[in-house]
Amino acid sequence: GIQVEQSPPDLILQEGANSTLRCNFSDSVNNLQWFHQNPWGQLINLFYIPSGTKQNGRLSATTVATERYSLLYISSSQTTDSGVYFCAVSGNRGSTLGRLYFGRGTQLTVWP
């Protein structure tokens, strides 16, 4: 399979601060997604980003596929950003095709 490592494992911020979450992966990928799991357990799609850069409001993501990493930027954090952020990838060969491998997540806590 593909190894996915996320850092940091935990992050505590004051409201208004900016942050960067990192995802490293061990093989070439054809799919990379970022998810936010809210305190109620729901998994919310943030970005589908196998390469390049995307922005959605205060969130943006960049994937450098050739160097096997992706970054999620959160600007002007709000308490509603709290939760766990997951990175997941799928490969483009053999048994890694079509199945997403997840990192262990970054637990973000934003306090007022």
Specify whether the CB–CB gap between 54 and 112 falls below 8 A.
no
* Binding-residue total with another protein (CB under 8 A): 22
Q: Give the range of 18-26, 52-60, 66-74, 94-102 binding another protein by CB under 8 A.
A: 94-102
Residue 31 interacts with another protein (CB under 8 A)?
yes
- Nearest alpha carbon to residue 48 among 27, 68, 67, 70: 70
Residue 75 interacts with another protein (CB under 8 A)?
no
- Nearest alpha carbon to residue 30 among 87, 86, 91, 99: 91
Cα–Cα dist 37/86, whole Å: 8
Q: Which of 85, 90, 108, 110 binds another protein (CB under 8 A)?
A: 90
Q: Give the range of 13-21, 53-61, 66-74, 83-91 binding another protein by CB under 8 A.
A: 83-91
Residue 51 interacts with another protein (CB under 8 A)?
no
Q: Which of 7, 24, 27, 43 binds another protein (CB under 8 A)?
A: 43
Cα–Cα dist 107/100, whole Å: 20
Instruction: Enumerate binding residues for another protein (CB under 8 A).
Output: 1, 4, 30-31, 33, 35, 41-43, 45, 48, 86, 88, 90, 98-105
